[in-house]
Amino acid sequence: MRTGDSLTEIYVYENTQLLEQLEEMLLDSEKNAALEKAHIDEIFRVMHTIKGSSSMMGYEGLTKLAHGMEDMFAALRQNLNAPKGAWEPIISLVLECVDFFKVEISKVQSGLAPDGDIEALHGRAVALLHMVSGEAPAAAQPGKPTTTAPAYNGANGELRYYQARLFFTPGCAMESVRAFAVVNSLDGLYTRIAHEPRDLNVNCDEAIIANGFLLYLESPYDGQEIEIKLSDTMFLQSLEFFELSSQEGLALLAAPPAAPAPAAPEVAPQARGEAPAQPTAAQAVPAQLAAPAPEQDSKEAAVSAPKGITHNFISVNVGKVDQLMDLVGEIVTTESMVIKHPEVVNLHIESFEKQSRRLRQLTDELQDVVMSIRMVPISSTFRKMQRIVRDMSLKTGKEAQLVLLGEQTEVDKNVIENLSDPLMHMIRNSMDHGLEPAAERLAKGKPAMGTIVLEARNTGGDVIITISDDGQGLDRDKLIKKAQERGLTQKSESEISDREAYNFILAPGFSTNEQVTEFSGRGVGMDVVCSNVEKMGGSVSINSVPGKGTTFTLQIPLTLAIIEGMDVRVASEHYIIPILNIRESFELQSEDLIVAPDGTESIIIRGKCYLVRRLHELFGVPGAKEDLKSGIMVLVESERGSVCLFVDQIVGEQQAVIKPLPSFIARILGRLPHLSGCTILGNGSISLILDVNSLVSNT
């Protein structure tokens, strides 16, 4: 997708949202093995919208497939009692179409043409259409589509005339394109149509914003059908709709006015000796949709405008939010540099210190507000996992249900984008390795249907996500044996803790499956999960009870932009250690130190041995303290283990705005180990942020 191609952006965004909502609704409906009337209407509306927007973009294949699905659901709207056994293939077909549309829309987003083959799906839609209609499939004729036009109610051959005025939601953008889509959506419902503005091929956004989009139609259909269609318009703020006399309709269709027509016809019915035309009950516009005429006084409009059309949300480009977040980071850094400047700190000016505290309070509030803008509920990602469970249940023959908890937990949008793949792998792992087949579960006294629980909750600056199943659990002995065969450990079985044994499944290429299947056996999956989570600054832990189930716990920072860290000094250099990874800090007692013959240093803490790593040796810092008893030990841990870091001094807590290392350093030195980025301290100097996972892995 080309940058700045707003039309394509709107197409991708709106249809992606529709497909996600549709998939969620279908998964809920599948549990009842039927579709309710509201669901049928919703699917019809979604397919109609996709058809119209795809036609507008010139995507013929997507238009044809959406039209075929629309036809099928138009028939279902008239006959809600589908033939026995039809609901399951209908729901499966719609889900497959959703997948197909997602793939094609992702091509559009990447700047490619949506060129997928629709014929198989379209053919099934046509077959199901005939099934729900109770008709025999018609033989396809050359050059003619096999689908039928939607059978709208009320077509009786008598031509009637209607006027409609639509106002779009303020700020929705591309009003001219949306007006074109409205006209396209009415295809098949009119014999003649006129509109104002007349030419929608030019930019007439301002005119539509000011005066609305005015339509005049000649149609053999009941006005209620047309009004329903117009009410389905996306980003519709208000709608006026009523029937005209044939004389008025013919006059307006012949020459629509250059200026917007008033809400009532210009020709007074009394002048023709007729009673004023009134909308029928079916045509009457609900009060909450009525908008004041553009000529109305602004104060009067403000008073009479219905509360139902007040909008508290606007769409904002994510790039702008990211840019705002970067600016806030710069403000936080600059504020710290000003307040902590050595020449100012030593002055002890009371008024300056008072205003500095106020400035810090304001920057903290600004940072919190911007962070809240980036926060989105994790529910959308969680609900995608329902599809994984559903599809794997069908393929593996295992009965399973997914229970979602804490769906409204909010996480930074960038974290959400990186969570989908790890969660998908872990749900698949629970389905394939964790849950037993129904017969085996019944033999163990368990219910035939297995349960997977996906839960999220906030804990301070982190979000905790757990994936639990009530399956067979992990076999500790089998894991240790496989790890010893692979050379992953030299310890004896008695020396390996349960936690270490379970963590072997996070090693690259590790698998206990003897046979390679569609889902597992290649040793790829859990190591990718661990790697992706660690890239986000998070960790993975595993707990299992044999015969009762396994729980995976992901601890992830709420945001990838700012971390809470501990500023430590080594000689004149400063480093930031994420507080998430710090277990404790202490001064070394000589009796706790162990030095191996090869010079490797370790210390004993409450009966456990930990390797010591001197930061000044790791990074080649001259002038640092050499005596371990003269500095500070910081015990850090990750799911890969723990290690003690030796530093000269702990300076204090530091809120670090994470920045990537300068590109010229990467070009000259390549990827630097043990570092995840850098931040700017209050005195203007750069501090490196340590990658604890890397430090532990290389011990």
Q: Is residue 368 part of a domain?
A: yes
Residues 529, 530, 533, CA angle at the centre, nearest 5°? Answer: 85
Spatial CA neighbour of 160 closest among 215, 222, 214: 222
Say whether both 286 and 363 belong to one domain.
Answer: no
Say whether both 109 and 238 belong to one domain.
Answer: no
Question: In the block, which residue shows the tokens 């009532």?
Answer: 264
Average pLDDT of the residues in 278-299 = 36
Say whether both 616 and 676 belong to one domain.
Answer: yes
Say whether both 396 and 544 belong to one domain.
Answer: yes
What is the number of structural domains in the chain? 5
Residue 552: half-sphere exposure toward Cβ, Cα within 13 Å = 27
User: How much is the pLDDT for 283?
Assistant: 35
Q: Is residue 522 part of a domain?
A: yes
Say whether both 369 and 454 belong to one domain.
Answer: no
Say whether both 433 and 494 belong to one domain.
Answer: yes
Q: Rounded to an integer, what distance in angstroms lies between the CA atom of residue 523 and that of residue 538? A: 22
Say whether both 667 and 572 belong to one domain.
Answer: yes
Say whether both 354 and 483 belong to one domain.
Answer: no
**Helix 87-109 vs helix 6-32: angle between axes, to the nearest 10 degrees?**
160
Say whether both 372 and 383 belong to one domain.
Answer: no
Q: Is residue 140 part of a domain?
A: no
pLDDT tens readout for residues 118-145: 998 988 888 888 877 765 444 443 333 3
Say whether both 503 and 387 belong to one domain.
Answer: yes
Backbone angles phi, psi at 313, to 5 degrees: -130, 145
Q: Among 206-220, 228-242, 514-528, name the one with the lowest average pLDDT.
A: 514-528
pLDDT tens readout for residues 13-59: 888 888 988 888 888 877 777 788 888 888 888 898 888 888 878 88
pLDDT tens readout for residues 181-227: 888 878 778 888 999 998 887 778 889 999 999 999 999 888 888 88
User: How much is the pLDDT for 697?
Assistant: 67
Please give the mean pLDDT across all residues of the chain: 78
Spatial CA neighbour of 434 closest among 454, 417, 464, 416: 454
What CATH number has the domain bearing residue 329?
A: 1.10.287
What CATH number has the domain bearing residue 189?
A: 3.30.70.1110
Strand partners, 614: 646
Q: Are 82 and 76 in contact (CB under 8 A)?
A: yes
Q: Is the pLDDT of residue 274 over 50?
A: no
pTM for the structure as a whole: 0.60
Q: Is residue 570 part of a domain?
A: yes
Q: Which domain holds residue 341?
A: 319-376
Among residues 542, 557, 572, which one ends one of the domains? 557
Question: In the block, which residue shows the tokens 């059908």?
Answer: 225
Q: Is residue 138 part of a domain?
A: no
The pair of structure tokens assigned to 308 is 């139902």
Say whether both 414 and 482 belong to one domain.
Answer: yes
Give buried/exposed letters for 208-243 (b at 16+ CB in 10 A, else e): beebbbbbbbbbebbbbbbbebbebbbbbbbbbbbb
Instruction: For 295-388, list the strands marked E by DSSP.
Output: 375-377
Among residues 506, 538, 557, which one ends one of the domains? 557
Say whether both 455 and 358 belong to one domain.
Answer: no
Q: Are 98 and 63 in contact (CB under 8 A)?
A: no
Q: Is residue 141 part of a domain?
A: no
User: How much is the pLDDT for 683?
Assistant: 66
Q: Is residue 530 part of a domain?
A: yes
Among residues 529, 557, 585, which one ends one of the domains? 557
